[in-house]
Amino acid sequence: MGCIFASSVEMLIAMRFFQAVGGCVGMVAARAMVRDIFPPTEFAKIFSSLMLIVAVSPILAPTFGGYVTASLGWHYVFVFLFILVSIIFVAVYFLLPQTRKPDPSVALKPLPILKNYIGVFRNTQFITYAVSGAISYSVVYTYITGSPHVFMDMFQATEKSYGWIFAIVAAGLIVSAQFNSLALNKFNSKDILKTAFSIQIVVGIIFVILAYLHALDIFSTIGMTICFIFCQGFIFPNASAFAMAPFEKNAGSASALLGFLQMIVGAASSALMSIFQEGSLIAMTIIMTSSTITGYVIFRLGERKMDQAASAALVAEEDLEMIEGF
């Protein structure tokens, strides 16, 4: 409501800050509730479903918001948000069950909360998949920042056409997330992650080369973007599932840190993209591909570290059994 009646930029920014604080609750709680309710084997499938909202909304929202702003004015964007949030509040209050009782030893106490965060950060599996997934998913934020300049400035697409381009790319992400659910019936999450990363890297390298050679028109750029973003429907849910899997008690802390990493890396990639708006297509493809390669390297290094730790633990266990045998 404060945003609707904001009379200055300063007031709007202040109200948006409080709006963001409230918005964080839903993202954190949703991931934590997945960990509370479902078995680990189902995490990736559920995160694929969550991706319909959590991952796709940053892509769809600008399109819808643009139409509302153009038709009714920017105030009505917040009118629609107020109506939507009111519906969600009623649904949560009356329909959503409590999945875990509050822990009074931790709630709103800085020191226990800090200890939980430190414990989460020390978990190698969390760091591996949370960081690699966040860096990989930052390609979406790079695309959101760079695509207006690519399609509207370089290729002279109209605002309406750009809205449709945005929607088509978002549809590709939605479809791929659902394909991920189907793929999990036959393949394990780790193999899907490796394959999706590899395909995205190959597509990204081709994208960079074609952009450098000025061999892309608007249609081929849309096609390459869809192919590149499509892979995120397989990477994001599986990486999130692996990151959340080790935590039963501290699911809320893990979810909060996972969201923090995704947002901070996404903001950094958006800021980087905004610096290189000149020649934005080549810049966009390089940043997106570099992010994917970086995410994959972190994923592989983390996997190697976890495998070494598991091997060392197995050797230690065998040695202990041998000693006890004597």
C-alpha closest to that of 24 among 270, 267, 268, 257: 257
Please give the pLDDT value at position 130.
92
What is this structure's pTM?
A: 0.79
Q: What distance in Å separates the CA atoms of residue 42 and residue 189, rounded to the nearest whole number?
A: 10
Q: What CA–CA distance (Å, rounded) separates 200 from 227?
A: 8
Nearest by Cα to 57 from 93, 81, 36 = 81
Determine contact, residues 227/139, Cβ cutoff 8 Å. no
Of 87-91, 258-262, 287-291, highest mean pLDDT: 287-291
Separation in Å, CA 182 to CA 133, 137, 248: 20, 21, 26
At 48-69, the pLDDT tens digits run 777 667 656 766 677 777 778 8
Residue-wise pLDDT tens digits, 130-188: 999 999 989 999 998 898 889 988 898 887 788 788 888 888 888 888 898 889 888 88
pLDDT tens column, 274-303: 887 665 899 999 999 999 999 999 999 999
Domains and CATH numbers, the chain: 9-90+114-308 (1.20.1250.20)
Selection from 11, 80, 88 nearest residue 2 by Cα: 11
Is 255 within 8 Å of 244 (Cβ atoms)? yes
Q: What is the pLDDT of residue 58?
A: 64
Q: Using the predicted structure, report yes or no on whether residue 323 has a pLDDT greater than 60.
A: no
CA–CA dist 76, 217 (Å, integer): 35
Q: What is the pLDDT of residue 204?
A: 96
Quote the CA–CA distance of 184 and 180 in Å, as a whole number.
6
Contact (CB, 8 A) for 141 and 270 = yes
Q: Cα dist. 233→38, 56, 169, 177 in Å?
A: 20, 10, 12, 4
Cβ neighbours for 259, distance < 8 A, ≥ 6 positions apart: 24, 27, 28, 31
